Structure 1
Amino acid sequence: MVEKKLLITKDYIEVPVMTESELMTLEIIQQEKNSQSKICEFQVPMGNEAGVFMPDYFARFSVKEYKGKTLLLKGCASERFFDMIRQVDCEFEQSDFDFSKEEQLRPKYHFTAAKGWINDPNGLVYSDGVYHLYFQYNPFDTRWENMSWGHATSCDLIHWTQHETVMYPDENGYMFSGSGFVNKNGCLGLPEDTLMFYYTAAGKCRPWTTKRLSTQRLAYSLDGGKTLIKTDKGVVPTISHENRDPKVFWHEKTKAYIMIMWVEGNEFAILRSENLEKWELSQKFELEDGFECPDMICLQDKDSMHWFITTADGYYYPGEFDGYSFKWNGKKHCLYMNKVPYAAQTYSNTDGRTILVPWIRVNFPGRKYTGAMGVPRELGLTKIDNEFRITLKPVKELQSEFEKHSFKIKDMTVFVDNGIVEVTADCDTMLGVYDV
């Protein structure tokens, strides 16, 4: 076990990452005069004693709140690994977005993180002219681990800027998927423009939290989404040990917040709350082949509203919703033609527009990042065989760019974006990958 003490004088510590090497635990502990308290722990590929120690990249961890204090870093790694840990003043540097061949091949319209692994889109909310995209993030490797919430923003759904990571794993577990909305009802004594985020704190992921079950918890932002503050208010206790992925929205007709989340197997739950403080279970139900990351979507035509539940694989289930329970009509459809898109979520607070973003399960061999987000799609309705179905089209903001970089094959439109191919046909969307 190697230890390193750091008197914190800057905003971030920078940790070397040796991708594809063995994962080891890095503990970060705050030292007080007579006590120690663990801040967090990460699984980091630290390399080994053999060979030349050349990090593939550096990952940065915010330590702003510990300035002037001493942190102890511990792990079963080489002295060389700990010697390379240093303090820096910014989350991203120009070198993170250089003009190497790798960067020239980076997708232009499908968001990718500067470095590390990304998966599910989280907390999609539009506020004050800004689209916020939070996402499952591992800054410390190009593989899944250390689930945190990364953050990016856009004003046009085309150009995205990555910002500081907003939530890291803590004593309650990893930061799994969740959703965002604006606190228009002024709940919990917070201002009406507060951004609210429900997420899953996933226990049992690592020895530090192995005795914890998964709970649904709340964080909020008072600075326009830049920083998220976790709170113990409004916690939803465990229904099943891995229940997760809360999607929360306001149901005007019954004057309540609705939470839909995955429970286990093909089972989902709907909960209600009038004030975000106390939640009551309203319904548990099953959906054929449905699994995790649910979203409940209401699309309106001239005469009526049409409700759908979507799940991670892109299946969607038409039905009726009265604010208390969802009545599925027994039919199942799919948004996609293959399994590349996953865990899609729709934006909140978009004034009648329903904008969807999926995670694209792609690898980029030899690069410092894994995974991408799909281009934003606007949902609509069409009628097929006397049944309303969901349509997907690139958002209007992207339409001209989409046309510039696409071509037609019979009745299909093929959109090419540096390693990602999107094929649109009729009302369905398929995403595939080609080798660049």
Structure 2
Amino acid sequence: MKCNYKGVLVSTVSLMAGLFMHTADVGAEDSEESEKNSQLQEVDNNYYEELYRPQFHFTPEENWMNDPNGLVYYQGEYHMFYQYNPKGNTWGNMSWGHAVSKDLVHWEHLDVAMEPDELGMIFSGSAVVDKHNTSGLFKGGSGGLVAIFTHAGDTQKQSIAYSEDKGRTWQKYEGNPVLENQGIEDFRDPKVFWHEDTEKWIMAVAADDRVQFYSSPDLLDWEFMSEFGEGMGAQEGVWECPDLFEIPVDGDPNNTKWVLQVDINPGAIAGGSGGQYFIGDFDGETFTTDQKAEEINWVDYGKDFYASQSWDNTKERRIWTAWMSNWNYAEDIPTSPWRSAMTIPREVGLKTSENGDILLTQKPIREMKKVRNKKHHLKSQNIDSDHLPVSEVQGQTQEIIAEFEIGSAEEFGFHIRKGEEEYTKVGYDTENQELFVDRTKSGDTDFNDDFPGIYAAPLASEENKIKMHIFVDRSSVEVFGNDGERVLTNQIFPKPESNELEIYAEDGDVNVTSLDVFELDSTWKNKINQ
């Protein structure tokens, strides 16, 4: 990749004067929704205003957080459980934190759901709706929520808990664990779902360097069926946090494939922890794939996307989120009184490429439009400047939707969160056909030697065009290339006053065929989020 940096030049091109056609508020419908939320919520201007505090990503009010857990939709609420330390800002005392949302954007914090007990800490897991009371745990046969998680004591084993009040309180099953450890050192992170064709519960659980599959009629008694992964994909670290689901290819409900997502730590594409996926078939007992053993499909090419999990019981679409950090430096991140954030929720799909391969795609959920404020629209423009400030756009939180027609430039893109001496580069390398994020000059990078870096994803142009959809928050950048065909997620820690945006083109020109920039509101302005 071409990564040379030139000094800041005074452009001979007009500094975007008159370049924007209009600056306008978002549509009336979104404004009405925003006003409605404001009326419902208690105002506190100091809430969630700490240095680097994300404004539209999920973060705990205080203390340490890592993996998302128990993601499930139930009776009008999306539940977000997560690995949580209620006693400090580093890993330890693993419990399940808890929040709920009606729209996956505005969250209400609830009490800690589960804490360590005599069987060990409460590690990662999932949650399901036992609507027909197959477990027999619910009085009157009414059904309810069941959480399946790893008890981490002397060994790692799988246990369950259940809730009869929409997840507000949890009762651990007296017969825990429901799946004992069979002599496997790393045996954790159960993902459970109901398999319609075989009418049984399926558990995918990480077991050292592979995924094991178990089945149960009642969530209590589990039988081993098969395993997948020996010698497959990335194998440099331990496998963790599997997820298995079926989704349409190219939006065709009559053509579906199964996706097995599994994380690895270390050994990911950007270094440290990350996720990979396999596309194949699942018959209720065995997962199979046509993928070659040495082939690796990375979920995200950035440094900060780990332990992704999808929401159960959402029916019409598959949505997931991930822990936005990396085990190489997670405990060193310079934030307080909290540490860690989740990515924005993403809709997951499958797309057939020009060569016939099926690729995983990720797109921001449509509900993210709720946080849009002012919109800035750029006329089609040819850019041949190294540093072209977009003077009309400033701020710490932005959504950027751009399409470029490739010209003679060897590299082009954006400098985001730019200040006097810092910026993050989001660009495209035309020679190597790579979308990349460079955070070497992004702000505070000294807290860990592994933090600064340049991360790239292979991305071919489509009809000589490249699309970038970028979400910028106070301490993160998420980049979606060509409608989510490639994604890069990275944390950044710039100064608050570094809030400028620039377009750049190096050694040639590029045509910006369209550019919309939205200023984004905070979802955390108020303590009560309904």
TM range (shorter): 0.7 to 0.9
2:528 aligned partner = none
Report how far residue 275 of structure 1 moved: 1.6
1:281 aligns with 2:240: no
Of the candidates 344, 349, 352, which is equivalent to residue 375 of structure 1? 344
TM-score normalised over the length of structure 2: 0.60
SS class of match (2:254):
coil
> Which residue matches 1:415?
471
1:430 corresponds to: 488
Provide the TM-score with structure 1 as the length reference: 0.72
1:261 match: 205
Residue 414 of structure 1: CA displacement?
Answer: 1.9
- Equivalence for 2:321: 357
* Cα distance in 2 between the residues matched to 1:432 and 1:420: 6
- CA shift, 1:102, in A, is 4.4
Aligned residue type for 2:359? R
Deviations along 1:392-413, whole A, 9 cap, x unmatched?
1111111353696212346212
- Aligned with 2:135: secondary structure? helix
Counterparts of 1:418 and 1:292 in 2: how far apart (Å)?
A: 29
Aligned to 2:148: 198
Counterpart in the other structure of 2:164? 222
**1:323–1:163: structure 2 CA closer, same or farther, 3 Å change rule?**
same
Which residue of structure 2 aligns with residue 54 of structure 1?
none
Displacement of 1:366 in angstroms is 4.6
**Shift in CA distance, 241/232, structure 1 to aligned 2, threshold 3 Å:** farther
Partner in structure 2 of residue 310 of structure 1: 261
1:106-149 Cα offsets, whole Å, 9 max, x none, are: 21211110110000000000011100000000121111111100
- The higher relative CO (CA closer than 8 Å, separation ≥ 6) is in 2
| Residues 176-232 of structure 1, C-alpha deviations (whole Å, 9 max, x = no match) | 0000110023122224441010000011xxxxxxxx311100011111011111103
Task: Measure the CA separation in 2 of the matches of 1:259 and 1:413.
Answer: 35
Which amino acid in structure 1 is aligned with residue 255 of structure 2?
S
Distance (whole Å) between structure 2 residues aligned to residue 100 and residue 219 of structure 1: 33
Asked if 2 retains the 8 angstrom alpha-carbon contact of 1:402 and 1:415, the reply is no
Residue number among 388, 399, 410 corresponding to 1:406 in the alignment: 399
Shift of 1:285: 2.5
* Cα distance in 2 for residues equivalent to 1:181 and 1:100: 33
> Aligned runs of 1:384-395 on 2, under 5 Å?
384=353, 385-395=355-365
Matched, 1:294 2:238: no
Correspondence list, 1:41-190, <5 A: 99=46, 102-103=49-50, 105-189=52-136, 190=138
Q: Which runs of 5+ in 1 are unaligned?
A: 1-93, 204-211
Deviations 1:137-187 (A, max 9, x none): 012111111110000111111111111001111111110000011002312
How far does the alpha carbon of each residue in 1:331-383 deviate from its partner, in whole angstroms, 9 at most, with x for none? 43122112311000000010221010101016652511100011000111210
State the AA in 2 paired with 1:336. D
- The AA in structure 1 aligned to 2:289 is W
Does the Cα contact within 8 Å between 2:60 and 2:338 map onto a contact in 1?
yes
Equivalent residue for 1:335, pick from 299, 320, 324: 299
Provide the alpha-carbon RMSD of the alignment: 2.1
Q: Deviations over 1:288-313 (max 9, x none)?
A: 22611000021022422200100122
Which whole-Å CA distance do the structure 1 matches of 2:48 and 2:191 have between them? 39
Which letter does structure 2 place at the counterpart of 1:159? H
Contact 1:257/1:275 (<8 A) preserved: yes
- Aligned partner of 1:396 among 357, 366, 377: 366
Q: Is the 8 A contact 1:182 1:192 kept in 2?
A: no
Counterpart for residue 47 of structure 1 = none
Quick check: 1:218–1:232 contact (8 Å CA) kept in 2?
A: no
Q: CA deviation at 1:105?
A: 4.4
Counterparts of 2:486 and 2:75, CA distance in 1? 31
Q: Secondary structure at the match of 1:399?
A: helix
What is the percent sequence identity of the aligned residues? 36
- Based on CA coordinates, which of the two structures has the bigger radius of gyration? 2
Gap runs ≥5 in structure 2:
1-41, 264-273, 376-397, 403-412, 414-465, 495-530
- Paired residue secondary structure (1:397): helix
Letter in 2 for 1:374: T
1:387 maps to a residue whose letter is D
